[in-house]
Amino acid sequence: MTISRRVIKFFPILLIPLTAFIISRWYFQLMLIQGKSMEPTYHSNQLVFLNKQSDVYNIGDVVAFHSDSLNSILVKRIVAAPGDRIFLIENQLYVNDKAYYDCQWDIAYTDSEEILLNENEYFMVGDNFDESIDSRDSRVWLVNKDDLIGIVIPNKTYNK
C-alpha cells in the first residue's frame, strides 16, 4: 500500500473528530445543565445545545455565560438588556417600570436606586429563585456581552 492510499484510508477517521471540533467550537455545543437554578424549565443533568452563532440576545432568552468570579459557566434567563432600567422596591424587581419578580438580593443595594444597563450589559435571573446564583448576587451582577457563550436550544419560555 502506498503512502497516498494510507492517507486516504485514514482520512475519514481524522475528518470526523476535526469536524466535531469545528462545529462545537464555533457553531453548536452540547452542554449539560447542572443544578436546580433553571427548574422547572430545565432540570439538572439535562443535555441541551448552545447556538454559538447568535450575536443577538433578547429578553427571555436562556443563555450560557462565563462567570470569572465563580470560575464557571452559568445558564440563566435574560430579564433586562442594554438600555433597560432596573430597580428594586421592597424586594420586587422592576424592569422599565414593570414589576417583574418578587425576589431577594444578595448585594448592597438601596431600594429605588435605579440602574441603567450600559450598551453591553445584561441582567440575568434563574427560573428557580431560591436555588439560583444570578445577577442578584454580587459575584455575578451585570453580565457583559463578551461573556455570553450562546443561546440554549431549545430556548423554552417560562412564565411565573
pLDDT of amino acid 101: 64
pLDDT of amino acid 157: 72
pLDDT of amino acid 123: 94
The verdict on pTM exceeding 0.75 is yes
pLDDT of amino acid 25: 65
Residue 110 lies in a domain: yes
User: Nearest-CA neighbor of 44 among 156, 131, 109?
Assistant: 131
pLDDT of amino acid 59: 92
Residue 149 lies in a domain: yes
Residue 5 lies in a domain: no
pLDDT of amino acid 10: 74
Residue 77 lies in a domain: yes
When divided into structural domains, the chain yields a total of: 1
User: Nearest-CA neighbor of 59 among 84, 34, 29?
Assistant: 84
pLDDT of amino acid 98: 87
Residue 100 lies in a domain: yes
Residue 63 lies in a domain: yes
For residue 58, give its domain range.
27-153
- For residue 114, the domain's CATH number is 2.10.109.10
Residue 52 lies in a domain: yes
pLDDT of amino acid 76: 96
Residue given cell 429563585 in the structure block: 129
CB neighbours of residue 77 within 10 Å? 24
Which residues in the chain land under pLDDT 50? none
CA triple 73-32-46, angle to 5 deg: 130
pLDDT of amino acid 22: 67
pLDDT of amino acid 106: 56
